Amino acid sequence: MTGLVRMFDASVPPSSPYPGCGAVAGYIGGNTPHVWTRDEWNRASDGGKLAQLPIWVGFGEDDPAGHAEQAANAAIALGWAAHHTPAWRAIVADVEAVKEEAWLAAFGKRLQVRGFLCWPYNSTVALPADPPGFQVWLAQWDGLDDVPAIHDVIGHQYRPSVPFDGTSVDLSAFMSTELSSFGHGPRR
């Protein structure tokens, strides 16, 4: 069985990593109330020691191709280079509980042109039976630190709103094989 890596994410990032996590996810733009700054990324990732996964909040937006351009530009501005070999860099499309298959298809296609993967973040109510060519970060708050054996699910957010360092974090588990698509090192 594939090994797992614990990850945390937060709307407002903590000033240090959540204990026991090897990865962090944070917001680079879209329909989010707080976009993480370079300094926030660096503090939350312990100066780049943790693997990092950028999130674009995509529900309730029009122009998916335009938003993919903005997401790619935001990722590049923070030091994530588009990467094709051996693994592509990923950008999460946070569409949570909204069925956005057409939006995701257009967003993902444009991200791919820019050299990035699109990983939707979906809840079980919005997860298509056969995700259209995407690997998925699943929101299923069951408290189980695992990755369920569901088609194309590579990560599992299992616990929301854990108080930590003056904010709250959500906890996830990811397949360690996917870390090559995360960002590594400090944001510049």
CATH number for the domain that contains residue 90: 3.20.20.80
Amino acid occupying residue 66: G
pLDDT 10s digit of each residue in the chain, 188 long? 469 999 999 999 999 999 999 999 999 999 999 999 999 999 999 999 999 999 999 866 789 999 999 999 999 999 998 876 667 899 999 986 566 778 888 999 999 999 999 999 988 777 766 655 789 999 999 999 999 998 889 999 999 999 999 999 999 999 999 999 999 999 98
Does residue 108 lie within any of the structural domains? yes
Residue ranges making up the domain that contains 29: 4-180
Q: With contact defined as beta carbons under 8 Å apart, do 118 and 152 qualify?
A: no
Does residue 89 lie within any of the structural domains? yes
Reading the block at residue 90, the tokens are 């990923």
Q: CA 147 to CA 91: how far, in whole Å? A: 19
Does residue 188 lie within any of the structural domains? no
Q: Please name which of 116, 164, 148 lies closest in space to residue 4, comparing C-alpha atoms.
A: 148
Does residue 125 lie within any of the structural domains? yes
Does residue 187 lie within any of the structural domains? no
Cβ density class 54-85: b for 16+ within 10 Å, e for less: bbbbbbebeebeebbbbbbebbeebbbebbee
Does residue 105 lie within any of the structural domains? yes
> What global pTM score does this model have?
0.93
Does residue 77 lie within any of the structural domains? yes
Total domains in the fold of the chain: 1
- Kindly report the number of other CB atoms within 10 A of residue 16's CB atom: 12
Q: Residues with Cβ < 8 Å from 47, sequence gap 6 or more?
A: 186
Does residue 186 lie within any of the structural domains? no
